[in-house]
Amino acid sequence: GAVVSQHPSWVICKSGTSVKIECRSLDFQATTMFWYRQFPKQSLMLMATSNEGSKATYEQGVEKDKFLINHASLTLSTLTVTSAHPEDSSFYICSARTRGGVSEKLFFGSGTQLSVL
Amino acid sequence: KQEVTQIPAALSVPEGENLVLNCSFTDSAIYNLQWFRQDPGKGLTSLLLIQSSQREQTSGRLNASLDKSSGRSTLYIAASQPGDSATYLCAIAGSSNTGKLIFGQGTTLQVKP
């Protein structure tokens, strides 16, 4: 089956630093990728939609200058948390949508646990 | 605006019991509904997907139903096992099928041996 690789799986960083998370579709081309965030004991909330070759679309309340998304190829999207602060500590997970065809099948990465000290 | 609610938030049952997890949604204009399993600190595993035109889907000991008119879905787990312990998430894809999912807050299930 289709696989989405996300890494790192966990990262600890100091406040003020930037962290990059990668989401890669291994055996299919993903024209669209989605980035979600999950705080403890809460559900996944969509942060942004990433389309290959164009600017990401951010959900209301998500700062685009803080959460930089790049989708430079059909198999790779990156999320960079800039100047991370403790309140950014969360579980971040991506999903990828196949190109055309069976769009109702979304494939999720394994998630990244970010802890900002 | 679509809202997805899952009840109960947590459930603890002895091994072997059959159980039902509930999911309700406010907007019946959906493309599909999925049930996922999430283990602590891990990603999501898709369990069952029900298209808007379908009423139920089955996979092994799992059965999911969908009633769009009442805005409800249930996940039935038969003969529960300790390995079923996890958080179960219900997610809705809107009728425009953009690929965005709206998730419920999940039900955390513990199956005791």
**Complete DSSP assignment for B5-47:** EEE-SEEEEETT--EEEEEEES---EEEEEEEEE-TT--EEEE
pLDDT for B84: 97
When pLDDT is averaged across residues B57-68 and rounded to a whole number, the result is 97
Query: Hey, are the CB atoms on B104 and A43 less than 8 Å from each other?
Result: yes
Q: Are strands B72-77 and B62-67 parallel, antiparallel or unpaired?
A: antiparallel
> What is the C-alpha R_g of chain B?
13
**Chain B within 8 Å of A69 (Cβ-Cβ)?**
no
**Chain B within 8 Å of A111 (Cβ-Cβ)?**
yes
* Range with lowest mean pLDDT among A25-34, A84-93, B58-67: A25-34
Token pair, residue A66, equals 């803080």
**Chain B within 8 Å of A45 (Cβ-Cβ)?**
yes
pLDDT for A88: 96
Q: In chain A, what residues touch B4 (CB-CB under 8 Å)?
A: 43
pLDDT for A91: 95
- Percentage of residues in chain B with pLDDT exceeding 90? 86
Q: In chain B, what residues touch A103 (CB-CB under 8 Å)?
A: 97, 99
When pLDDT is averaged across residues B98-106 and rounded to a whole number, the result is 92
Single-letter amino acid code for the residue at B60: G
Q: Is A83 left (phi over 0), alpha (psi -120 to 50) or beta?
A: left
pLDDT for B95: 87
E strands present in A39-89? 44-51, 57-58, 67-73, 76-81
**Chain B within 8 Å of A2 (Cβ-Cβ)?**
no
- Percentage of residues in chain B with pLDDT exceeding 70? 100
pLDDT for A51: 86
Per-residue pLDDT tens for A3-48? 899 999 999 999 999 999 999 999 888 888 999 999 988 889 999 9
SS3 category, B82:
helix
Token pair, residue A31, equals 């024209």
**CB nearest B89 (choices: A10, A43, A103):** A43
CA atoms within 13 A of residue B75's CA, in its CB half-sphere: 30
pLDDT for B97: 80
When pLDDT is averaged across residues A54-77 and rounded to a whole number, the result is 91
**Chain B within 8 Å of A112 (Cβ-Cβ)?**
no
Is the peptide bond preceding residue B8 cis, with omega within 30 degrees of 0? yes
pLDDT for A103: 46
